[in-house]
Structure 1
Amino acid sequence: MNENAESLSRRLIRNFNTAPTTHDVREPLYDSIGARLAPGTAAQKLGASIDTVAPGKMSCPYHFHYAQEEMFIILEGSGTLRVAGEMLPLRSGDVVFIPPGPEYPHQIVNTSDQPLKYLSVSTREQPEVCEYPDSGKFLAMASAGGERVFDVVQRRSNDLDYWDGEP
């Protein structure tokens, strides 16, 4: 490949089989290996990650986004989509569409005895607020230039008056 082709390849192509991964574990419920694929690419509005959830575990808490839309493509294994108070079966080949908003809180659970592997694709709308109905928390975040420049996790019960601390 020439230099221009190599540069294009670095900006436009990621292989999820060779992407660097992180292993997130929080016993007893959460255990997943994942790789974020979009950082360092030319992607402006899309994010992507590949996740493998251990048998009987979850990758993240039940939540919904106020800005971002998500799509999950089940590549290997089976499990359950907890969504809007229901439990829906998932299997290899399924594509899940989750629009933003409180109507579709969601969580993927590996209810099988084999690993569950899926590709996540999302819009990267900023700023973003993500709410966690089970724990009463929310995450407010903003990014600039591909770097997270603000994030705060709080409970609604920590709410302050608009004028608190102002002269």
Structure 2
Amino acid sequence: MEKTNESTVEWTEYDREETSFRRKELSSAVDATDLGCSLYELPPGMRSWPYHYHTANEEAIYVLSGDGQLETEDGLVTLTTGDYVTLPADESGGHRIVNDADEMLRYLALSTMNEPDVTVYPEMDKFGVFVGSPPGGRDERTFHGYYNIDDETAYWDE
């Protein structure tokens, strides 16, 4: 058994245009390898990671405090304290958290930690490949990168 208290885990801050939040990687603090869990604080008016879905990892969101929106393939879904949402490992699990309220939005994001994983970012027309360590994992990756969805190459060089 491994144990930590969130008060002993340092925040990592992310700030890029409309994407601005703080994250505590709770699973990394206890060296978890098969289950990911991070605490997020999303300020009013901000958005989390760009809209995406995973092809190998399920995710779940549990709202600790505050209100916001979950951007999905079908539109926005209201989030409020106590809500628990599951996100399948396919296109139907596409998501992005939006804080359109006046208060801080605090939530836990949980995920399986399967690899390899391909993460698709439809609004950016990109995808990411993660081999050796899944998205959110801290082990060394044997291969990873981000690519344009429309890039195509032949199997055989002509």
1:38 is paired with a residue whose SS is helix
Deviation of residue 40 (structure 1)? 5.2
2:39 is paired with a residue whose SS is strand
Match of 1:115 among 90, 98, 104: 104
Deviation of residue 18 (structure 1)? 2.5
For 1:37 and 1:146, locate their aligned partners in 2 and report how far apart those are by CA, in whole Å.
12
When normalised by structure 1's length, the TM-score is 0.85
1:20 is paired with a residue whose SS is coil
Paired-residue identity, %: 32
Gap regions ≥5 residues in structure 1 = 1-7
Equivalent residue for 2:139?
Answer: 147
Deviation of residue 17 (structure 1)? 2.9
The aligned length equals 154
1:111 is paired with a residue whose SS is coil
Contact map agreement 1:30 1:59 (CA 8 A) in 2 = yes
Equivalent residue for 2:22?
Answer: 33
| Bigger Rg, structure 1 or 2 | 1
Contact map agreement 2:9 2:29 (CA 8 A) in 1 = no
For 2:44 and 2:7, locate their aligned partners in 1 and report how far apart those are by CA, in whole Å.
20
**Where in structure 1 do 4 or more consecutive aligned residues deviate above 6 Å?**
none
Does 1:136 find its partner at 2:122?
no
Gap regions ≥5 residues in structure 2 = none
When normalised by structure 2's length, the TM-score is 0.90
